[in-house]
Structure 1
Amino acid sequence: MTLWLYGLIPHLKAFHIVTLAVWCAGLFALPLMLARHEPAIGPADYSRIRRASHYSYTFVVTPAAVLAIASGTALVFLREVFVPWMFAKLVFVAFLVIFHAWLGHVLVTVAETEGRHTPPEPTAPMLILLAPVVVILALVLGKPDLGQIPMPDWLSQPQGRQLPFDVPRR
């Protein structure tokens, strides 16, 4: 790796942490915002809350998610962190992505479904979200040795096979 990339790693890591904090904060805030989607509160307030939750999801939370995942992917390759705890962390990041997509679905359902649609109570989604966030923090901060967990050979050793598609040649 070239020398200028080593100097870039701390900045990229700080950027990753900031975007991850914004993403997770948004994932925790949106269920609370959705809980305020009561048509009984009045049309003006309902419209304001609906727009705020939509714009928060579209212009803050989703870009933060994309940037957090992109910077995290770059860090994995720059730091060459190909260890079992990182792969376990990526599984729980996938849970965050699934939760993010579910929130988007709920936002669209609340905004575009005619008639009354009651969003879910915020307690259950926030507790569900808390689990992968805590596990990710434990994996990143603890960096546990997960090497003793039995893995199939096809996951832990090169197989010496060709890819199932042609690789373009230069």
Structure 2
Amino acid sequence: MNGLEAVIPHLKSLHIGMLVIWCAGLFALPLMLARHDPAIGQADYARIRRATHYAYAFVITPAAVIAIASGTGLIFLRGVFFTWLFAKLVFVAAMVGFHVWIGYVLVEVAERKGVHRVPRATMPLLVLMVPITCVLVLVLAKPDLDQIPLPDWLYEPLGNQLPFEVPRR
């Protein structure tokens, strides 16, 4: 086992751990946002607003970045270039879109003056279930999707140079 192969189990553990935190946070934030109601009292409202802001900025977003970065590393370390992976990446992009939307709603509630209607938690949670379930199914089942036509360059690295110089140690 060479040095890079020894890193794969650790990188995979990091990826799964951060993915769990990210997904749990994406489920928790709509529930927390549903509690944003000035009628509950100023102290409780401020506490909930602070908790959602800190959870999003300091826990959930870093977990998402680390999950995506470690997943990208795993793709290249393991040389996984299959159609199911590209389908998975489409659903990961949907999760990123949901993450961005939640951030937008947080900014609307916290930073903009006026009364804001926070979406009820039911619909966002149902929408979120779709990409997370699809990612799980694709990763665990690894279905044969080779009948879906994709360009040849997606299946293997081309070995081209990057458009910039990479620093070397």
Please report the TM-score for the alignment, with normalisation by the length of structure 2: 0.90
Indicate conservation of the 8 Å contact 2:92/2:135, yes or no: yes
Q: Percent identity?
A: 61
User: Matches of 1:65 and 1:17 in 2, distance apart?
Assistant: 11
**5+ residue gaps, structure 2:** none
Q: 1:9 to 1:166 in 2, by over 3 A?
A: closer
Q: Give the equivalent residue in structure 2 for 1:32.
A: 31
Runs of 4+ in 1 over 4 A off after TM superposition: 152-159, 165-170
Alignment of 1:105-124 (within 5 A): 105-124=104-123
User: Matches of 1:25 and 1:93 in 2, distance apart?
Assistant: 15
Number of residues paired by the alignment?
166
Alignment of 1:39-78 (within 5 A): 39-78=38-77
Q: Give the equivalent residue in structure 2 for 1:22.
A: 21
Deviation of residue 95 (structure 1)? 0.4
Deviation of residue 150 (structure 1)? 2.8
User: Matches of 2:56 and 2:10 in 1, distance apart?
Assistant: 26
**5+ residue gaps, structure 1:** none
Residue 145 (structure 1) aligned with residue 147 (structure 2): no
Q: 1:11 to 1:156 in 2, by over 3 A?
A: closer
Deviation of residue 149 (structure 1)? 1.6
Please report the TM-score for the alignment, with normalisation by the length of structure 1: 0.89
User: Matches of 1:156 and 1:14 in 2, distance apart?
Assistant: 25
Deviation of residue 118 (structure 1)? 1.6
Q: Give the equivalent residue in structure 2 for 1:79.
A: 78
